[in-house]
A and B are shown apart, each in its own frame.
Chain A
Amino acid sequence: DTAVSQTPKYLVTQMGNDKSIKCEQNLGHDTMYWYKQDSKKFLKIMFSYNNKELIINETVPNRFSPKSPDKAHLNLHINSLELGDSAVYFCASSQRESGGELFFGEGSRLTVL
């Protein structure tokens, strides 16, 4: 079983559309994250949730709205997609909020045309 799984793996869409990426972890971890890797390969944290509560929000446009229905799931919804949103989005989880290693998913490659 995949520890951190994301769907879809690839997503191609038009500017202005709304799309979602889903993430699930089966590790029993309390904390989940979304990272964005742009075309220059820089990995930057976007959000972090601990037990369904938002704890990190890194000045991400409010078109991005994370939702955590339970501590095993963290979804990312993006409204009014722009060309600059094209990137690979990685979900990750860790056992707790502070310390410990992060386990990453395989990434979701979003292409906005």
Chain B
Amino acid sequence: DAKTTQPPSMDCAEGRAANLPCNHSTISGNEYVYWYRQIHSQGPQYIIHGLKNNETNEMASLIITEDRKSSTLILPHATLRDTAVYYCIVRAYGGATNKLIFGTGTLLAVQP
């Protein structure tokens, strides 16, 4: 079962920052926060992951609260091609299995 809670949908204007929240209040100390997205009719795509520090890469930034119970994925300048379902997933790193458990995600609609 997914251990995260995300809003079902969000809108964002093209060119503006998209801030996608995720609650993971039961996260364990050895669990990372991963973000994937699925553009319509495509396979899921990895975006970013983090443990407790904020992370940034060429796609997005990940802000994790100090108590690690929630996080925000930031797309700094959303484009129409960023319209997708965004999944926030918590997963232990280095475990015997590598199961990604997907929830229902947030459908981000970037508006022109």
Contacts and interface: CB of A to CB of B under 8 A. Distances in A.
B20 interface: no
Contacts of A105: 43
Interface residues of B, number: 23
B46 A103 contact: yes
B43 A48 contact: no
A98 B102 contact: no
A41 B40 CA distance: 11
Contact of B49 (A42, A56, A101): A101
B57 to A, nearest CB: 11
Contacts of A41: 85, 104
Q: Classify chain A: how many residues form its interface, as a range.
A: 20 to 34
B54 interface: no
A85 interface: no
Contacts of B85: 41
Given A41-B85, A99-B93, A101-B49, A94 B42 contact: no
A106 B102 contact: no
B93 to A, nearest CB: 4
A43 interface: yes
Interface of A: prevailing SS: strand
A98 B94 CA distance: 5
A45 B98 CA distance: 10
A104 B96 contact: no
A2 B49 CA distance: 23
B100 A98 contact: no
B94 A43 contact: no
Interface string B8-51: 00000000000000000000000000101010011111100100
A99 B99 contact: no
Interface in A51-72: 55-56
Contact of A106 (B42, B94, B97, B104): B42
23 contacts: A33-B98, A41-B85, A41-B104, A42-B102, A45-B100, A48-B97, A55-B96, A90-B43, A90-B44, A92-B43, A92-B44, A97-B98, A98-B97, A99-B94, A99-B95, A100-B98, A101-B46, A101-B49, A102-B44, A102-B46, A103-B46, A104-B44, A107-B43
